[in-house]
Structure 1
Amino acid sequence: MRRLPRILKAVRRTALQAVPTVIGIVILNFFLLRLTPGDAADVLAGEAGAATVETLSALKAKFGLDLPVLQQLGGYLHNLAHFSLGVSPRYNQPVAALIAARLPNTLSLMGSALALALLLGITLGAIMASFAGRPADRALSVLSLLFYSIPSFWIGLMFIVLFSVKLGWLPSGGAETIGAGLTGWGAFVDRARYQVLPALSLALFYVAIYARLTRGDMLEVKAQDHVRTARAKGLPPLAVTRDHVLRNALIPVTTMAGIHLAGLMGGAVVVETVFSWPGLGRLAYEAVMGRDFHVLLGILLLSSLLVVVVNAAVDILQAWLDPRIEVR
């Protein structure tokens, strides 16, 4: 109960900062996207193959692409004020419906990747810190450096070659077995099999970061007075590491995890394309290729809101991990 006012203070601060931040992001992204040559009408006309000047003009007028840029921005902000993301010219569907259909898959992939990255990274970092300077530490340091250096799309392709083509253990793409009609636990296991490779491909880069960060922070915390005092009291080494060393070393890791959320969304574009995963990353790629700016703006807006919410959650988590942290 004593921590409740601190949590409420963090939520209030985040809400006050979120509104101008999100509005600024929307306006900036709107003008940046307008610098891109072409628009959805040009792409649709090009795909038709026999579009005339009149047809192209009609398409631009239908989607409001012939209006001045400021007028288009005003219309878009007016739609946002009425909780509407507009209509996609390419799919001829509300943008909100398109995003809602893909969002669960992307959140599932990002959540699995972040959980794997934190679990593996913190575990490897704790092992490296416990055996600092020994062969195990050196071997894991080299392994983490490889994870950090290799692009996620190349790792994904190698996973497909090894686990799908050679061994046949896991599927190479998609989100579920088409036409299987599975329900309950069977459906969960089936989706989990499709998610293993893309989640692992997306997570390995961050595993390396969290492992190195955990190792350095644990070595720093081990030298502090309160850890020496805990050892002097006769506490078991495992209890000292868990309650006094690792808990304090997790604060920078949780901060980086919140910062990396936007990077996970960006990495999902590549990974979802490699594994044909039907999520927001693949939708964003298709929107870029089709110059569907309404869909892109909707995805960018959702991404910014997601980052704001996660950063607020990180502030609350840090206050819980270390009561000395004051939420301002």
Structure 2
Amino acid sequence: MSKNKIDEKELIFRKVKEKERLTFYQNAMLSVNEFATSSLGFSWKRFKRILMLNRLTFGLIAKIFMKDMVDYAVVYDNKMVAGFTILTSKENYALGNVFTIPEYRGKGLASIIVNKVTSEFSDKPIELNVDIKNEIAIHIYKKYGFKEKNRTKQFIENIPFQTKPFAKGYSAKILEYNDLENLDKLRKEIPQFDVILKAYKRGLKKSKKRALQIETQVPCALLEDNEIIGLGRAVWSKTTPHTATILASAILPEGTENYASFITFITTELIPYDIKKFNWNLSEKTKPFENSFVSFLSKPVRESIVMEKEIEIN
């Protein structure tokens, strides 16, 4: 195959067809093969099997839960050679799942994709997350106006996970639906708290008899003298049945020193569900808890740069 660059005029950009969705995600995951294997605790072969098992639900998931997320195929000579995903929110666009299949790398497709995205989705800022080791991609993004916004680190830890006991007067509990009436302090002090709370409400309302359960969660509350001063939850799905993600950033400043103890409480509650590992991200949202928590963690499995391209004002 010639190593000549491909001209954008030779390419077709279109939405991924339902019958192509499995192939799309297999190709997208090739770039994180090592991450999926070592971090999430299962082999690439098993990951592909999970994709196959979920094949019939992809369309339903996309329609119900991902109506603002669109997968795009880049077609050359009737073949999907690259792709990307655009997630639309009120504030911005998020660019993800950018891939080029191995035999078409080095032909300028990544630059064409980024140029296309920045041209077509120019009415809002565009945000993306790129591995800190992916120097080629970082160079391309900078070339098209993306600037570093912040950095993230991903940690994977085993369960049981021990840190330190709660300080006197502090404790934690499983969040119950009745507790939602006693969150005025959090609502006043935490930005966009009502948006955060929606995720907890969905989990509390979820029926065990529901035919299709995409996500399972354990919602918890951090307390100071029996008053709720923070929320945190563990989330996992059928695709990663033994690894949960810990989401715990809606916590008032007075709970910071007990953050590690709160995470230990949450992870202990996962043991009956046969959860073996948990994933926690140091990000802009969890930065306030870095000093009180990161010392209990092992080395990060992945470090990323969050980049953003702002709206260009002519």
Q: Normalising by structure 2, what TM-score?
A: 0.25
Give 1 or 2 for the bigger CA radius of gyration. Answer: 1
Higher RCO by CA contacts (8 Å cutoff, separation 6 or greater): 1
Q: Normalising by structure 1, what TM-score?
A: 0.24
Higher percent of residues as strand: 2
Higher percent of residues as helix: 1
